[in-house]
Amino acid sequence: MVSNLQNILSDAAKGMKKSAIRELLKLTKNPEIISFAGGLPAPETFPIEELVDITTEVLREDGKKALQYGSTEGDDKLREMIIELYKKMGFDIALENIIITTASQQGLDLLAKIFINRGDKVLCGLPSYLGGLQAFNAYGAELIGIEFDESGMRSDDLEVKLAKLNAANDLPKFIYIIPDFQNPAGVTMPEKRRKEIIEIARKYDVLIIEDSPYKEIRFEGEHQESLYTLEGKGHVINFGTFSKIFVPGFRIGWVIAHPEIIDKFVKAKQATDLCTSPFVQKIAAKYMEKGYFEKNLNKTIKLYKEKKEIMMRAFEKYMPEGVTWTKPEGGLFLFITLPEYMDSEILFEKAIKKKVAFVVGHAFYCNGKGRNTMRINFSYASKEQNEIGVKRLAEVIKSEMK
């Protein structure tokens, strides 16, 4: 090992931090621990039998292409199938508007690589998805948090902060938003708020990044139109993925944007991994072509609704006064707010001893706040574990209340 490793690291490498969630998950490997920590889909939603048959079919019918290098833009058939899926949500897009990525996390990394220089400003929610914050931090972004309410990112706070940055001639590179069943808060941004934010972004000529990894997993409430389609003029970059709505192990995601922006993603991706696995892309395309995707998605939605409702009833039954939580209309997460004097990091250590785990809320705040919050995942644990785990967690919280 070289003696001066730290001295020869790049500025980007020096700014990299381990994922708080990934580190916490190491503590939850004990099978006795009920984990609400990871953003893990339920394994029982994985269509294993269908994929066994389809994998064989792809190898027999198209093996030479499936096992060869592919185009950076992605498999044409898969992109066509995704385009058809999005057309049902009102998107007017063609092949030139979409690139396949190695999950949406790669898309976020490429986004940062393309747009962020060290010291550039990026606006994000308080709280916001940790993976996005990590990707932007790695390239030296200065993250500026926008306050939240029950409708998500507050447009009034966004306006105030953009006006200040504009006056200082230091506008951000983009606004990062998770509008549907937000990670970690679980809230959904209503159309009125979406339109307000679009108007503000247009006023200051700032890009909007719409990260929507599980928009399809809605089990109650009204469908909300995408920021991409509401804006309609190429001012929004949309991110999607199969990780939460199909299988995470395939690591297939995509970026939808104006062709000029997609061209930048193609160039950045070519320097990263050349292409996302053609093999898994062809399997995914065949799976969708056979009509399995929507059928399995409907089963997933039904299961997650049941799991969420069991957890909601358990919260009502066991949680002490002074604790509040969001009530998501879809997705995989909800957010708990504790009394202000409580620290979820201290609670985490005690919860592990009670064999239940969660993610500390301050990991999702770019300004270090949110220490009295925690994120809870309701999709991974079984229905029975969701109630038992909430009961254990409630006992830990009660023991620390004044």
How would residue 13 be classed by pLDDT, with cut points 50, 70 and 90? confident
| pLDDT grade for 25, boundaries at 50, 70 and 90 | low
Q: What is the average pLDDT across 57-65?
A: 97
Element (H, E) at 146: strand 142-149
Task: Read off the pLDDT of each residue in 237-249 and give the average, rounded to a whole number.
Answer: 97
Phi–psi pair at 343, nearest 5 degrees: -125, 115
pLDDT tens digits, 296-321: 999 999 999 999 999 999 999 999 99
Burial group, residue 258, by CB count within 10 angstroms (0-12, 13-18, 19+): middle
Q: Within 10 Å of residue 192's Cβ, how many Cβ atoms?
A: 10
Per-residue model confidence (pLDDT) at position 363: 95
Q: In whole angstroms, what is the distance from residue 362 CA to residue 372 CA?
A: 8
What are the residue ranges of CATH 3.90.1150.10 in the chain? 5-47+294-400
Question: So what's the architecture of 5-47+294-400 in CATH?
Answer: Alpha-Beta Complex (3.90)
Longest dimension (CA), the chain: 66
Q: Please list, in sequence order, all residues whose beta carbon lies within 8 angstroms of the beta carbon of residue 233, skipping any fewer than 6 positions away.
A: none
Mean of the per-residue pLDDT values for the chain? 95
38 pLDDT higher than 90: no
Q: Output the pLDDT for position 138.
A: 95
Q: For residue 383, give the amino acid letter.
A: K
Is the distance from CB of 154 to CB of 185 less than 8 angstroms?
no
Residue 246 has pLDDT above 90, yes or no: yes
Asked whether residue 209 carries a pLDDT value surpassing 70, the answer given is yes
What residues does CATH 3.40.640.10 cover in the chain?
Answer: 62-292
Domain 62-292 classification at class level: alpha beta
Q: Are 285 and 254 in contact (CB under 8 A)?
A: no
Tokens of 357: 């785990």
* Spatial separation of the C-alpha atoms in residues 390 and 37, rounded to whole Å: 13
Give the Cα separation of 148 and 151 in Å (integer).
7
Distance CA 176, CA 194 (A): 13
The band of 24, judged by pLDDT with boundaries at 50, 70 and 90, is: low
For residues 360 and 358, what is the distance between their CA atoms, to the nearest angstrom? 7
